[in-house]
Structures are given as C-alpha cells and as structure tokens.
C-alpha cells in the first residue's frame, strides 16, 4: 500500500493548505501534487526533502516507514 499518497494528503489537510499553495511552496506544479496524492507518480528525493521540511516531519514518516 502506498502510504506516501495518504500521508501527504493527510498532512496537507491537517495543515489547511490546498494543492496549489503547497505546489508553490515547494516549487512544483499543482498537477504534480495531484499525481502524488492519487498514487500515479512518486516524488523525487529532492521533493521528499522539501515536503519533509515544509511539514516538519521525517522522510520515513512521509513514506510510511514510521508513524
């Protein structure tokens, strides 16, 4: 099961941020955020690092290796 897509969407909703705003904050398109959340594409390591920093979580948490 792809925990990344679920964790990303949950973090985004918990932090009350839309896909467009998140995309702007980390320098990707809104479409990329949507693809990630639908499990159709996986982020690069650079994007994972930016997301982890933005949400103040570990990469392990983002990808479902820790809770």
Q: What domains appear along the chain, each with residue ranges and CATH number?
A: 3-57 (1.10.260.40)
Mean pLDDT (the chain) is: 95
> Quick one: pLDDT band at residue 1, thresholds 50, 70, 90?
low
52 phi, psi to nearest 5 deg: -60, -45
pLDDT of residue 66: 82
- What's the rounded mean pLDDT across residues 22-28? 97
The model's pTM: 0.92
Report whether pLDDT(67) > 90.
no
Residue 27: CB partners within 8 Å, gap ≥ 6?
50
21: left (phi over 0), alpha (psi -120 to 50) or beta: alpha
Q: Give me the half-sphere count of Cα atoms (radius 13 Å) on the Cβ side of residue 37.
A: 18
């Amino acid at each position: 099961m792809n925990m990344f897509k679920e964790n990303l969407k949950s973090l985004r909703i918990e932090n009350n941020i839309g896909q467009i705003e998140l995309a702007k904050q980390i320098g990707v398109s809104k479409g990329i955020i949507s693809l990630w959340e639908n499990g159709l594409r996986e982020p690069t390591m650079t994007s994972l690092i930016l997301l982890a920093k933005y949400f103040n979580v570990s990469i392990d948490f983002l990808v479902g290796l820790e809770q």
